[in-house]
Amino acid sequence: MDISLDLKTLAASYEKGLRPTELVAAIYDRITARGEDNVWITLVPKEQALVRAAALEASGRSAQQPLWGIPFAVKDNIDVASLPTTAACPDFLFMPDKSATVVEKLLAAGAILIGKTNLDQFATGLVGVRSPYGVARNPFNSDYIPGGSSSGSAVAVSAGLVSFSLGTDTAGSGRVPAGFNNIVGLKPTVGLLSASGMLPACKALDCISIFALTVNDASAVLGVAAGYDSADGYSRPAPAGWRASPAGGVQPFRFGVPRQDQLKFFGNSAAEALFLRAVDRMTALGGEKLEIDYTPFAEAAGLLYTPAGTAERTAAVGDFLNSHADALHPVTRKIIEAGKQATGVDVHRHYYRIRELQQASSATWEQIDVMLLPTSGTIYTVAELEAEPIQFNSNLGYYTNFVNYFDLAALAVPNGFQPDGLPAGITLIGPRFSEPLLAGIGEAWQRDTGLSLGATRHAYPETAPATGNANYPSVTVAVFGAHMSGLPLNYQLRELGARLLSDCSTAPDYRLYVIAGALPRPGLVRTVQGGRSILGELWQIPTAGFGAFVAAIPAPLGIGDVTLDDGRVVKGFLCEAVAAADAPDITSLGGWRAWLETSRQEPALAAPQ
C-alpha cells in the first residue's frame, strides 16, 4: 500500500473506506522492508497495534478523536506505559506504569502508537550517532548522520513509517534532524507541552517537540497535545488569543537575517547557496528582510556546552553516572561529567550572562516578526562525526542552541536539496507563544516550495492558504483617522510597542463620516451600496496590550472586522451606523487625510512628549 501518511491524505483515504487495521498492517510491512535501520528501540508488537486499530474501527470516527487512526512514534526518553524507557542506555532501562501526559492526550485523540525510537543517549547531542542501538539510517544517504538527538523520531516520519512523532528539544534536537530528513520540526514554547513523563536533559530548557510531514500536521498535533499541567513545574498555559493552527501567514511580515559576516556554513557552499535563495523566496512570499546583529544569539549558543552549561545535564543523570559510568557512550559520558567541574557560583554566573544576552537581543524583536536561519550550516558523514564528535556537534548548534535559553519558539521546514541529494532546511524563530505566526508563514513556505514529503515520493497535499489574523503575539489593526502616522492619537499605538506595517485600502463598500467632538474622529461604516475604498494604515499591536487599547476606545467607535481591497479581513475601527446618520459624509474624499487637507483642519491635540 503506497499511501502518504500526511493527515490530509489519510483523512481522505479513511473517508473512501481505508481501515486502520489495513494501514497498520502496511506500516509494519514497510518497517520490515527497511530491515536493520536502527530507527526503533522498542516496537509495539504488531498484534497489539492491530488490536488498537480494530478497537478504533469498532468505535468509529468522531470529532472527539481528531487523530483517529493516525500512526505515531515516541522518542525513547518519553514514557509509555507498558513499554520500557531506555534513553538509549540499556542499563538505565525501566518500565513506567504511566504514560507521559502528552502521550496520553494523543492516544485519547485516537492516535495509534507504533513504537519508541532511537536517540543520542540521554538526549545529549545533535548528531544521532551516540547510541548503543546503532545509527538510525539517514534515508537519503546512510553515510551521513540523521541528526539528533531525536534521530529515530525524525527518520520514522521521513521514511513514511509514521505520520508524526514526538522528539525532545533542548538545543536543537527537534530541529536539526528535521533539516537532515526533509520534514517539519516544531519546537514549541517551553511549557506549552507538558514535560511530565519525559526524562530531562536540562529541565529548565527541555520541551517535547513534534516531527511531521507538513506544517499543518505539526500544528494539528500541537493543538491536541498542548495544555497546562500542574504536575509539570515548567508548564504554563497559553495566553488569550493563542491557537495552534496557522493563520494569515501571507500577510506582510518582517524577517531578520544575520549579517553576511555572521553567517556560517563551515565550508559547505551548497548549503549557503540554498539559504541565500531561501531569503529571496521568503521575500517573494511577502516578507521584508532586515539584517540583524546575531552576536548575542551566537554567544549564547556557544555557552551551552561549557561546564556550567552542562551542569544541568549532570543534575539530571548524575546519580546514574556515578554508579554506572561504564554504561554511558564515551562522548556522552565526557559531556555530562564536565558538569561536575562547575561550582554553584559558576552556574549562577552562567545564567546571569544568558539573561544579559537575552536582554541584549530583545531590541531585535522590536524590529522583526520572525528570524530566518539555516536549520544547520552543514551536514557531516557518520565517519566525520566519530572522528570529531565535539566540535562538529557544536557547529550544528550554531543556529539552534540559543532558542530555549531565550524562551523562543521555532519551526524547521524543508528548503530543498544540495547537488549531492542531501536535504537542507531553514528555521523560523519567533517570541514565546508565536507558534501560529510561525505556522502561518511556514505553511505558505512549504506549499510554495512544492517539495515532496520526507524521503517519500509523495507530493505535498493540496491545501487552501491559511487565513485570518489571530496571530499571537500581535494583532493586525486597520486605523483610518487620528491613530495614523503623524496624527494626534498615533502615540497611543507607539506606547503599546505597535509597529506600522503598510498603507491599506478597504474593500469598495464603505462610507466615511466625520464624528464631531473635541477631536473630530472618522466614522467608518460598511454599506450595501454607494460605498468606495477608504485609505488607512495597518498597524501591528502586541496582543498583550490589545485588550486595554480596545477598552479605551470611546463610543460610537469600536473594533470589528474590516475587509480590505485585497480580500483580507483584519481588525479595524468601525462606527455605529446610528451615530453616522446625521454626520457629514466625506466618502468621496477617500480618506481622513484628504478631509484634513480639504477642511484645513489642524490636529487639535499634540502627542505627549
Phi, psi of 303 (to 5 degrees): -85, -10
**Is 334 an annotated catalytic residue?**
no
Helical residues (DSSP H) of 159-238, grouped into ranges = 176-181, 215-225
Cell matching residue 210: 513534534
Could you say which of 173, 194, 376, 474 is catalytic? 173
What is the Cα 549 distance to its own chain's centre? 28
- Residues 316 and 324: their CA atoms lie apart, in Å, by 14
Q: What angle do CA 449, 106, 118 make, to 5 degrees?
A: 70
**Both ends of the chain: CA-CA distance in Å?**
69
Written as one letter, the residue type at 402 is F
- Residue 420's CB is within 10 A of a number of other CB atoms, namely 10
Element (H, E) at 429: strand 423-431
**Is 149 an annotated catalytic residue?**
yes
241 Cβ contact partners less than 8 Å away, ≥ 6 residues apart: 470, 472, 475, 543, 546
**Is 163 an annotated catalytic residue?**
no
Dihedral class, residue 147 (left if φ above 0, else alpha if ψ from -120 to 50, else beta): left
Could you say which of 4, 99, 149, 474 is catalytic? 149
**Preceding omega of 556 cis (within 30 degrees of 0):** yes
Give the residue from 57, 184, 32 showing the smallest Cα distance to 114: 32
SS3 605: coil
Q: What angle do CA 536, 542, 543 make, to 5 degrees?
A: 105
Are 411 and 438 in contact by the 8 Å Cβ rule? The answer is yes
SS3 46: helix
Are 241 and 543 in contact by the 8 Å Cβ rule? The answer is yes
**Per-residue DSSP letters for 108-132?**
HTT-EEEEEE--SGGG--SSS---T
- CA-based max dimension of the chain: 86
Could you say which of 13, 75, 151, 209 is catalytic? 75
Give the residue from 360, 358, 369 showing the smallest Cα distance to 499: 369
- Where in the sequence numbering do the catalytic residues fall? 75, 149, 173
